[in-house]
Structure 1
Amino acid sequence: MTAEPPRHLAFFTSSQARSVDDDSLPSASHTSAAEQGKNERLSRFLHGSFPSREDIERICTASRHPTVLSHEIMTVPYTTLDQQGLTTPESLLEIPEPNLHPVLIAKHMLLLASFLQHVHPDLHKDVKDLSESPRAMMDRLADLALGLVTTNDEFLGSIESLECVMIESVYQANIGSLRRSWLAGRRAMSIAQLMGIHRPDHKAQYKVLDPRTRCDPQLMWFRIVFLDRYLCLMLGISQGSLDRSMCSDTLLANDTPMGRLERIHCVIASPDSGA
């Protein structure tokens, strides 16, 4: 007797079960339309998996600490954050519309799951009336975003998809899964290299799904390398990049004191630093 898959993975299971009729392969236009339809269904499914607005409001009021959305330090320079500030927790209430790209919806799910990671257990009494426990909600949102979008190569190519993989790496590290964090980080490194954001000539090629996305590709590459070196030192694994360009005189001069310190730490952690 075959066990029935969990409800929140039913879309994934049914999608994988579909077969292709080799005798009647669709044309390119039909394939494109089919892909668009599949993405639209996935977007609606993901959107329907969000907690209620009342639940999200309770979560946002459980903690006002600004670092809960500090994922932006992975994509935005300190100088910009000093001028514009971090995104507030209330932004989690701005749930993406169901007609948006699955990557944008998955990103919001990962941000909400990451937020729940930072809700101190002492504050769980403030969210005791949620429709499900904070841990169950966190796991469910992350499992959906990772299983249906972030690990799906069909959704690669946008800067937001790279951001999702970076968020995944940090999320896994924060729950103590350093090996899974390393795997996600190394995948982010490969995706970034395919986009060309590691190149100093600024000839990167990638899509931007949302014009409101705040990101600095050069900074993102530095963060990917920095996290990889940290995890490799922790796990005793060879590093994925020998790049030391993040510590150039120009970048150091234009960064904040904290940013300069982190760049120097990144280079010291490189295998050929001589440290």
Structure 2
Amino acid sequence: MDPDRHHFKTIRTAKAFIHGSMGSDSPARVTKAVLFLALYIQQLPNSIANQQTKLSVHPEARLDSYLLLANMLLSISGDTTPTIDGLECLIILAKLYMNMGKVRESWLSIRRAINLGLLLRLHNAAGPGKDREHELWSHLWQTDRQLSLVLGLPASKDYIILLRL
């Protein structure tokens, strides 16, 4: 299994990814693990989330603390060389915000990811061995279009074209 693809078929593989990432020297890799934990908490059924669980803090409070930590780690990793891990973190963060009904924050995360993708030259990704990059860029472009429509804002490609005029 390629851990970068995040197709976890079992709890064991997801747990191994999270544990392995927490010990990483890469802030983006640690952030990705934190965001996956946040996503798992967010996806808990209401029946479990509302019950007394083994968590010392209510799941929503835990989710908020993970998002705060992730944003801090992303700002740290943003000062270094752009990475695919950092870009994927922004995509996961956008998904979390969208699930919370925070469309504006989701849009801002996608815009940050698009800027990072431009620095990584994902917009030029084509050819053999570039499937992942092309898939990421396509996802960013489509998500930006959708969120821009919802918010009544210009999509990033439109904005880039306007800058050229």
Give the TM-score of the pair, scaled to structure 1.
Answer: 0.49
Could you tell me how far 1:126 is from its partner in structure 2?
6.0
Could you tell me how far 1:176 is from its partner in structure 2?
1.0
CA distance in 1, matches of 2:73, 2:44: 25
Task: Tell me the amino acid that sits aligned with residue 60 of structure 2.
Answer: R
Question: 1:171 maps to what in 2?
Answer: 96
Pairs aligned (count): 149
Q: Deviations over 1:159-184 (max 9, x none)?
A: 11111111111111111111111111
Question: 1:230 maps to what in 2?
Answer: 146
Could you tell me how far 1:98 is from its partner in structure 2?
3.0
Q: Deviations over 1:30-85 (max 9, x none)?
A: xxxxxxxxxxxxxxxxxxxxxxxxxxxxxxxxxxxxxxxxxx9xx85xxxx9xxx5
Alignment check: 8 A CA contact 1:110 1:164 kept: yes
Task: Tell me the amino acid that sits aligned with residue 151 of structure 1.
Answer: S
3-state SS of paired residue (2:79): helix
CA distance in 2, matches of 1:156, 1:197: 15
Which residues of 2 match residues 117-136 of structure 1 at below 5 A? 117-124=42-49, 128-136=53-61
CA, structure 1 residues 131+155, in 2 after alignment: closer, same or farther (shift >3 Å)? farther
- The runs of 5 or more residues in structure 2 that have no matched partner are 159-165
- The runs of 5 or more residues in structure 1 that have no matched partner are 1-71, 203-214, 243-275
CA distance in 1, matches of 2:116, 2:103: 20
CA distance in 1, matches of 2:12, 2:57: 20
Alignment match of 1:150 (pick from 57, 67, 74): 74
Question: 1:159 maps to what in 2?
Answer: 84
Alignment check: 8 A CA contact 1:103 1:155 kept: no
CA distance in 1, matches of 2:139, 2:35: 18
Question: 1:107 maps to what in 2?
Answer: 32
CA distance in 1, matches of 2:147, 2:11: 28
CA, structure 1 residues 131+91, in 2 after alignment: closer, same or farther (shift >3 Å)? farther
Give the structure with higher Rg (CA).
Answer: 1
Question: 1:240 maps to what in 2?
Answer: 156
Question: 1:140 maps to what in 2?
Answer: 65
CA, structure 1 residues 166+140, in 2 after alignment: closer, same or farther (shift >3 Å)? same
Which residues of 2 match residues 1-275 of structure 1 at below 5 A? 86-94=8-16, 95=19, 96-124=21-49, 128-146=53-71, 148-152=72-76, 153-201=78-126, 216-241=132-157
CA distance in 2, matches of 1:175, 1:142: 12
Could you tell me how far 1:92 is from its partner in structure 2?
3.9
Could you tell me how far 1:117 is from its partner in structure 2?
0.9
Task: Tell me the amino acid that sits aligned with residue 150 of structure 1.
Answer: L
CA, structure 1 residues 119+156, in 2 after alignment: closer, same or farther (shift >3 Å)? farther
Give the TM-score of the pair, scaled to structure 2.
Answer: 0.79
Task: Tell me the amino acid that sits aligned with residue 235 of structure 1.
Answer: L
CA distance in 1, matches of 2:54, 2:125: 51
Aligned-residue RMSD, C-alpha: 2.5
